[in-house]
A and B are shown apart, each in its own frame.
Chain A
Amino acid sequence: MRLGVLYGIVLGLALLTAGCNAMPGDPRSGPPIPPDQVTDFHILYNRNCQACHGANGRNGPAIDLANPEYEALIDDTTLRRIVANGMPGTEMPAWAQSAGGMLTDAQVNALVAGMRREWARPNAFAGGTPPPYAQNQTGDAKRGQQTYQARCASCHHTPAHQQVTSPVYLSLVSDQMLRTLIIAGRPDIRQPDWRHDTPNGGAGQPLSAQDVTDIVAYLHALRNPDEVSAAPLSNAPRR
């Protein structure tokens, strides 16, 4: 009996000493890093981006950065410019310290590199050739309206005042943003890309580069400065 107690005490002490290396209170993470020296992509993304672009780049209110097609469509320079200087005509603010934000150049680079590493996929377009990111033709709003009616209106119909044709909506987004969304789609909310495949996987008829440009020209024309004050007509920043 007494021997048992003694063994128990010795065993307890041994366990306690052995446990010293694995006690839950042991601060293993290292000293805190000053906020301007954090270059871990996940920390930076979670602190600065995920509120609008969604956790892991999906299901946020703003564009899904985890869409491999988006990652393939936009080149490094443009992506970096948007993160650093913001996107005129949208709510995307400038993040670089040089443009009034809180992030250093190294942090902006870490974000761009991290997005590529996490979300870019080889052959994202599966052999297809999408219209280019930047508009390189002139659009025809009339033709754009016909294309819109034929190709977009079947999903974008009710309620009409909350659709993409609403001047209120259009005054909050830029033409480039509309173009990017039409080309790359939003797989997280089941919006098809320019190829227009049906939600259940059936192959659709792709929009041509001219179609995309025309639709954007049509939407652009719908922004009526008389009805919605302070709404921009172009990509120029508001206010």
Chain B
Amino acid sequence: MSRLKRIYDWFELRLQLEGPVGEVVLHKVPRDTASWWYVFGSAAFTLLMLQIVTGILLALVYVPSGAQAWNSLNILNHQIPLGWYLRALHGWGSDFMVAVVFIHMAQVFLFGAYKYPRELTWTVGVFLLLATLGMAFTGQVLRFDQDAYWGLGIGVFIMSRVPWIGGGLVHLLLGGPVIAGATLSRFFTLHVFVIPGTLLLLALVHVWMVIKLGINEWPMPGRLVRRSTYIADYNKLAHEDGIPFVPGAFWKDLIFSGAVVAAVAVCAAVFGPYGPGGQPDPSIIQTVPKPDFPFLWIYAVLSYLPPSMETPFILVAPILMIAGLLAVPFVAGEGEKSWHRRPVAILALASVAVAWAVFTNLATFTPWSPHMNAWSGDTLPVRYLEEATPLVRQGAVIFQAKQCRNCHSVGGHGGQRGPALDDVATRMTVDQLRFKVVSGGGNMPAYGKNLSPPEIEALVSFLETLHPKGQSPAIDAAQQAVENAAASPPGSQGGTP
């Protein structure tokens, strides 16, 4: 007997892990379960491990104090060899983890895997999702830059609207009435101890149940889930046509997890770390803070809500969403698993996915928000002024200086609150342009009292030139008919048809 075997036996006699581990490794799973569709859960767990390792390394340098956090991130980015890469791995790992967790959830929903007896696995999964989002948000706060500062400000404003206890909650979270030194300590504690501890514990419970209850079988149309027969059916399926979990299904998990980690590594190397952006100084107002990727959709939804809807939506919608997710296995715990026979589930998932994608996309270019520095920083395309008369040129100065550009783009640059004006002259006549500038209408404020008559005239003569080459500007046909009639000699009036 070799020395190695003797050491192994010494430990095995005391730990007695061979039995349970062997049972887990070799337990039979239905043959169809060894599918490429069933790899997202393990990938999420792998990413959690990556986050823990990179997070521990980051914590060696990061200083959780309002005065030094931003500097310590810049030290990581610029002074410590590959410190930036460590930050990039942690940041991209976070985005991948959120994405994989959502994909995992969608897949479980689509495959009916939450049905009896896996209701609790789903419920724990919902809390795992919340914990993952909690990690993403607290992580964004720890990257203590302008985005973090204002993002936290908005989060806190949302919380402060909770009736009766809102103020107390804010105090609890920030360690005072404002974002200050104690705030970062609290978020550090949340991000490093509280939420990861919960996450790890829940993840182990989640995996335990997956092993104990078996991995969901491939859904077949017509194979219904019934409480009375399901467990016996599943065991029959697993034993009659099953394969051992390792290596039968496990190799696909390994390869996919490896690919995801490789993707994180490549993204980190190519795109680099997130920020830190500008200093978290509330006196710097030249900033356009944006939340991180997982929360962009909330940013868009809140921007589009009418103000009167904000508080009800903020307070009610999260509760409804979470309650809805928790209710899924209890409302539909039995019956069909196959997506071929669950049209409502498919439609619900598709609607949520489309809405999420639309709002996230909108949030990346914020069409609702003026671009406050467009008026001084965005040039006009040179060709727009090539044949400009002195008045038109002066109108262009008015257009820039009066900040029309902050809401209206020209040449692809500028705000998108109002329509782009590159071909506005083909849509509106001079009179209509003048009226719109003076009186506003729709989303546009009236500028009649803010601009002098010469300024309006100059502005309108500039706008009148904004039409593509070869496309004539809009004309007032009635006015032209009157002018033609006035210009033509009196005798010829009846002559034309």
Taking the complex as formed, is A142 at the interface, i.e. its CB lies under 8 A from any CB of chain B? no
Residue numbers in B under 8 Å from A35 (CB-CB): 278, 284, 286
Residue numbers in A under 8 Å from B270 (CB-CB): 23-25
Residue numbers in A under 8 Å from B271 (CB-CB): 24-25
**CB neighbors of A among B438-470 (8 A):** 452-455, 457-458, 461
Taking the complex as formed, is B181 at the interface, i.e. its CB lies under 8 A from any CB of chain A? no
**CB neighbors of A among B349-373 (8 A):** 373
Closest to A173 in B: B394
A61 and B400: CB pair below 8 A? yes
Residue numbers in A under 8 Å from B186 (CB-CB): none
B84 and A52: CB pair below 8 A? no
Q: How far is the CA of A231 from the CA of B458 in the complex (A)?
A: 13
Flag the segment in B198-206, B305-313, B377-385 that touches A: B377-385
B272 and A27: CB pair below 8 A? yes
Taking the complex as formed, is B44 at the interface, i.e. its CB lies under 8 A from any CB of chain A? no
Taking the complex as formed, is A171 at the interface, i.e. its CB lies under 8 A from any CB of chain B? yes
Q: How far is the CA of A51 from the CA of B378 in the complex (A)?
A: 5
Taking the complex as formed, is B398 at the interface, i.e. its CB lies under 8 A from any CB of chain A? yes
Question: Is chain B's binding surface mostly helix, strand, loop or mixed?
Answer: helix
Least CB distance from A52 to B in Å reads 5
Least CB distance from B210 to A in Å reads 35
Residue numbers in B under 8 Å from A163 (CB-CB): 389-391
Taking the complex as formed, is A127 at the interface, i.e. its CB lies under 8 A from any CB of chain B? no
Taking the complex as formed, is A4 at the interface, i.e. its CB lies under 8 A from any CB of chain B? no
Least CB distance from B465 to A in Å reads 10
Taking the complex as formed, is A169 at the interface, i.e. its CB lies under 8 A from any CB of chain B? yes
Q: How far is the CA of A230 from the CA of B449 in the complex (A)?
A: 12
Q: How far is the CA of A143 from the CA of B337 in the complex (A)?
A: 95
Closest to A32 in B: B278
Taking the complex as formed, is A50 at the interface, i.e. its CB lies under 8 A from any CB of chain B? yes
Taking the complex as formed, is A34 at the interface, i.e. its CB lies under 8 A from any CB of chain B? yes
Taking the complex as formed, is A49 at the interface, i.e. its CB lies under 8 A from any CB of chain B? yes
**CB neighbors of A among B261-279 (8 A):** 268-273, 276-279
Taking the complex as formed, is B397 at the interface, i.e. its CB lies under 8 A from any CB of chain A? yes
Least CB distance from B458 to A in Å reads 6
Q: How far is the CA of A51 from the CA of B398 in the complex (A)?
A: 11
Least CB distance from A170 to B in Å reads 9
Closest to A28 in B: B78
Question: Is chain A's binding surface mostly helix, strand, loop or mixed?
Answer: loop
Least CB distance from B116 to A in Å reads 47
Flag the segment in A65-73, A154-162, A197-205, A208-216 that touches B: A154-162
B376 and A164: CB pair below 8 A? no
Residue numbers in B under 8 Å from A60 (CB-CB): 379-380, 385
Least CB distance from A201 to B in Å reads 21
Taking the complex as formed, is A88 at the interface, i.e. its CB lies under 8 A from any CB of chain B? no
Q: Which of A30, A49, A55, A228 contacts B453 (CB 8 A)?
A: A228
Least CB distance from A69 to B in Å reads 19
Q: Which of B78, B269, B396, B455 contacts A27 (CB 8 A)?
A: B78
Given contacts A50-B377, A102-B286, contact A162 B401 (CB under 8 A): no
A26 and B452: CB pair below 8 A? no
Residue numbers in A under 8 Å from B436 (CB-CB): none
Taking the complex as formed, is B85 at the interface, i.e. its CB lies under 8 A from any CB of chain A? yes
A52 and B400: CB pair below 8 A? yes
A20 and B82: CB pair below 8 A? yes
Given contacts A162-B392, A166-B391, A231-B452, contact A51 B84 (CB under 8 A): no
B281 and A34: CB pair below 8 A? yes
Closest to B453 in A: A229
Q: Which of A25, A49, A164, A168 contacts B268 (CB 8 A)?
A: A25
**Which among B276, B392, B458 has the greatest number of chain A C-beta atoms within 10 A?**
B458
Closest to B461 in A: A162
Residue numbers in B under 8 Å from A102 (CB-CB): 286
Given contacts A25-B273, A51-B378, contact A172 B454 (CB under 8 A): yes
Q: How far is the CA of A24 from the CA of B374 in the complex (A)?
A: 29
A48 and B272: CB pair below 8 A? no
Q: How far is the CA of A230 from the CA of B450 in the complex (A)?
A: 12
Q: How far is the CA of A24 from the CA of B273 in the complex (A)?
A: 11
Least CB distance from B448 to A in Å reads 12
Residue numbers in A under 8 Å from B454 (CB-CB): 167-169, 171-172, 228, 230-231
**CB neighbors of A among B390-417 (8 A):** 390-394, 396-402, 405
Q: Which of B77, B85, B390 contacts A164 (CB 8 A)?
A: B390
Q: How far is the CA of A36 from the CA of B399 in the complex (A)?
A: 26
Taking the complex as formed, is B74 at the interface, i.e. its CB lies under 8 A from any CB of chain A? yes
Residue numbers in B under 8 Å from A230 (CB-CB): 452-454
Closest to A30 in B: B78
Least CB distance from B400 to A in Å reads 5
Residue numbers in A under 8 Å from B452 (CB-CB): 171, 229-231, 238-239
The residues of A with any CB-CB pair to B shorter than 8 Å are 20, 23-27, 30-32, 34-36, 46-52, 54-55, 59-62, 91, 93, 102, 156, 159, 161-164, 166-169, 171-173, 189, 228-231, 238-239
Interface pairs A-B: 4 shortest CB-CB? A25-B272, A61-B396, A162-B389, A162-B391
Q: List 17 A-B contacts (CB under 8 A).
A: A24-B270, A24-B272, A25-B270, A27-B273, A32-B276, A51-B375, A52-B397, A60-B380, A61-B393, A61-B394, A164-B390, A166-B391, A168-B453, A168-B454, A171-B454, A172-B398, A231-B452
